[in-house]
Amino acid sequence: MTRGVYSVLLLLLSPLIVAYLAFRAFKSPDYRGRWGERFGLMRLKQTDVLIHSVSMGETLAAVPLIKRLMKQHPQLSITVTTTSPTGSAEVIKAFGDSVQHCYLPFDINLCVSRFIKQVNPQLCVIMETELWPNLLHYAKKNNTRLVLANARLSQKSADKYHKQMGLSLPMLTALDAIAVQTEAESARFAALGANTASLHVCGSLKFDIQIDDSKYQQAHTLRADWQRSQAPVWVAGSVHPGEFDMMLQAHKKVLEQYPDALLIMAPRHPEQFNVAAVTTAQQGLNLARRSMNEAVDGHTQVLLGDTMGELLMLYGAADIAFIGGTLIESGGHNPLEPAAMGLPVSVGPHHWNFAEITHLLEQAGGLTVVNNADELADMLLQLFASAELHDKAAKASLAVVSQNRGALQKQFEIVEQQLRLTDLIT
């Protein structure tokens, strides 16, 4: 498929895009406004640098890079775009009105061309692998230099790109620099036709996670308030429908041996909070909802983490973490946050989005791959029963994070190099 065919198909499908937005808006209030931004209809100011950070995870990784850029070059004007309300919330929380912020328009040619013409960036930094044919085409047509930062490319994604070389090759060759996370991913980009001179192995920005001491203190205080200072506590983070029942089944097995154990279950998407609450009630477990400030006492068996921006702190209040999206075929989420909090981590077999990071943690002994609820329960019980095994895994997690820091400096240098080529800095 070529970009022209892709653009026509996307235009024909635009009524379905509107229907999709309406469906999301029905399920989640966060999608009920700002539709104009998604179609490039917002009035925007010209800025020097455009940074696209997709959703919450990519935005959290981008924040230190953006802050370094703002500190080193305060004269630069910056626009930050996301595609999700959670990512948007993180941008507003981190930068307020010190950057221009909006949703990135859908990749419909008329919408994207208007957006690029208005913002007119000299440099565009795209986080991870959020590549859109029309966005890159019109940015290149605008003589915008293009950087793919913190780039990751699983073998599954590489296979998909390979099947659509008419779309993928022009995008990859348009990139002026690719700051890739691992050697394996660099090889995948090269095999797809990316210019090898543009490839730089830098590690993952997510290893450079900085945890504020207040989060540890808040987590410690919460656990004491929950009357669980000595009782087992585990977190199922970023879990999806299809995994809720499995988490609860595993927790029931834990409760058989540890009646005072607490599960903190944090669904990935806000629109699934109520589904998770209903599922927990149907399983006959005592539930408290974080969003409603419901008290967690000695009788509470499950705390529903149905708030935004608290998951890192909730990891700090636990002993062990499971990362969702991995017992279903979703590709999984970032295991580094609980690892950086010093927790043993567990994932299911479908973790291709973070395959290399998962492998590093597993190889070091900080992570365990489980295939179902029974294996998850067995792993939890084993670590709860042995402080020695738990502490060994926790130290391994922390060591992996510590040993792989440094990506921020490397990727910042690549961004600066491209800025010099635009004459925005000397």
Give how far Cα 197 sits from Cα of 190, 311, 320, 392, Å: 10, 39, 42, 41
Q: Hey, what are 231's tokens? A: 């009782």
From the list 37, 58, 90, 185, the catalytic residue is: 58
Contacts 24+ apart (CB under 8 A), 173-176: 174/136, 174/137, 174/139, 174/140, 174/146, 175/136, 175/146, 175/147, 175/148, 176/145, 176/146, 176/147, 176/418, 176/421
Annotated catalytic residue 58? yes
Q: What is the pTM of this model?
A: 0.83
Is the pLDDT reported for residue 400 higher than 80?
Answer: yes
Q: What are the pLDDT digits (tens) for 195-225?
A: 999 999 999 998 998 888 889 999 999 999 9
Q: What are the pLDDT digits (tens) for 304-320?
A: 999 988 999 999 999 99
Residues 6 or more apart in contact with residue 38 via CB below 8 angstroms: 21, 103, 105, 106, 111
Catalogue all structural domains in the chain, each as residue range(s) with its CATH number: 3-203+406-421 (3.40.50.11720), 213-403 (3.40.50.2000)
Residues 6 or more apart in contact with residue 173 via CB below 8 angstroms: 193, 194, 195
Is the pLDDT reported for residue 76 higher than 80?
Answer: yes
pLDDT band for position 75 (50/70/90)? very high
Residues 6 or more apart in contact with residue 273 via CB below 8 angstroms: 267, 291, 304, 306
* Backbone dihedral angles phi then psi of residue 334, each to the nearest 5 degrees: -70, 120
Query: Is the backbone of residue 367 left (phi > 0), alpha (psi -120 to 50) or beta?
Result: beta
Strands 367-369 and 345-347: parallel
Q: What are the pLDDT digits (tens) for 239-276?
A: 999 999 999 999 999 999 999 999 999 999 888 999 99
Q: What are the pLDDT digits (tens) for 173-197?
A: 999 999 999 999 999 999 999 999 9
Strands (E), 313-400: 320-323, 345-347, 367-369
Q: Which helix (H) or strand (E) holds 102?
A: strand 100-103
Q: What are the pLDDT digits (tens) for 345-397?
A: 999 999 998 988 999 999 999 999 999 999 999 999 999 999 999 999 999 99
